[in-house]
Structure 1
Amino acid sequence: MKTFILTIALVFFGFVAGAQNESDKFLIEKGTWSLGGSVGVNSNNSDNENSEYENFGFTLRPQAGYFINDNLAAGLTLGYHYSRNKYTRPDELQEATNNAFTIAPYLQKYFAISGSFSFNLTGFLEYTRSTSKNDYDNCLNCQKDTRNLYGIALRPGLSYLLSDKFSLDANLGTLQYSHSEFREDGIDRATTNSFAFSFGLSNIYLGLTFYLN
């Protein structure tokens, strides 16, 4: 809900800025570098008399881009995600870990609404390789699996220039096609093709971008 309120505030201030500077246009000049990214951490646990559950995970997604033309940037996003789930009972221990690496080149176009406010569209080509392992007590042949995901995505967003060096950015959802290949203990198990469109409060996130020229 807080993210939604911040996004509405971003839209409001953008239109206020547009009303005050009608002759200005949002402009990030050719030759500018952009640096940004996101960091996320989550942790929770629960327990009762007979069992205990623990979960921990974090995500790193640095991003760098270069404006090949005014308001048009080409760049690269790298990502790493780690998660661990642990389930303990008096006579049993289960633990699952996952590591995922992502590389995603992108092309991003800004459409000026005012001097400080713009709508943008970002096109991604994405590859993610994730490995998972499930461990059990006295496990002689614990399950290991690998998943390769190839995707193409289009993501709309909003950007508000806080200054000539920083912008506040909001992603509003995604339109995505993906192809995944699943291997278990080195053996091909399944392939999946999916097409998804998501838009809503759960798909809105905010970020900060630094510009260098």
Structure 2
Amino acid sequence: MRNLYGLGVYAKVYKGITRKLVTSLKLSGNYNTIHINGTSNTNNRFIIQLQPGLSYFISEKLALEASISNLRYAKTYDDINAFETKNDRFSFSIDTSDINLGVAYYF
């Protein structure tokens, strides 16, 4: 059995292009830790990323959203069977695997 705990936060800033079309920039961060019961195995992840996007408002409160690419920093720590690994990684990508499409409702 595994225990997984995590916490994530984000902030998003919008800048209008037209009345219905806006650009956005999202800054997010999260932390996850996994512990496998009955062992000393642990896995920790800290990730922070910056992601640009576009939103098109089809009504006053409903928008179609798209984002592509991200600039990401990840720090990992694994302790598996007393073998420790630590990694720090920066990445930037623009490809079809980074396209996110969605619908957002604003209260």
> What is aligned with 1:111?
15
- Could you tell me which of 92, 100, 104 is aligned with 1:197? 92
Establish whether residue 163 from structure 1 lines up as the match of residue 59 from structure 2: yes
Unaligned runs of 5+ in 2: none
Establish whether residue 177 from structure 1 lines up as the match of residue 81 from structure 2: no
Task: Encode CA deviations 1:156-196: one digit per residue, 9 max, x unaligned.
Answer: 111111211211111211101111010215x3511110000
Shift of 1:146: 2.8
Among all aligned residue pairs of Structure 1 and Structure 2, give the percentage whose two residues are the same amino acid. 27
| Secondary structure of residue in 1 paired with 2:97 | helix
- Cα 1:181–1:120 shift into 2, 3 Å: same
Task: Encode CA deviations 1:74-128: one digit per residue, 9 max, x unaligned.
Answer: xxxxxxxxxxxxxxxxxxxxxxx98855422111111111111111101112212
- Could you tell me which of 43, 46, 50 is aligned with 1:150? 46
- Cα 1:101–1:172 shift into 2, 3 Å: farther
Aligned-residue CA RMSD in angstroms? 2.5
Q: TM-score, normalised by structure 1?
A: 0.44
| Secondary structure of residue in 2 paired with 1:119 | strand
- Cα 1:131–1:109 shift into 2, 3 Å: same
Higher helix share: 1
Q: TM-score, normalised by structure 2?
A: 0.83
Q: Larger Cα Rg: Structure 1 or Structure 2?
A: 1
- Cα 1:196–1:113 shift into 2, 3 Å: same
> What is aligned with 1:4?
none
Higher strand share: 2
Task: Give 1:115's aligned amino acid.
Answer: R
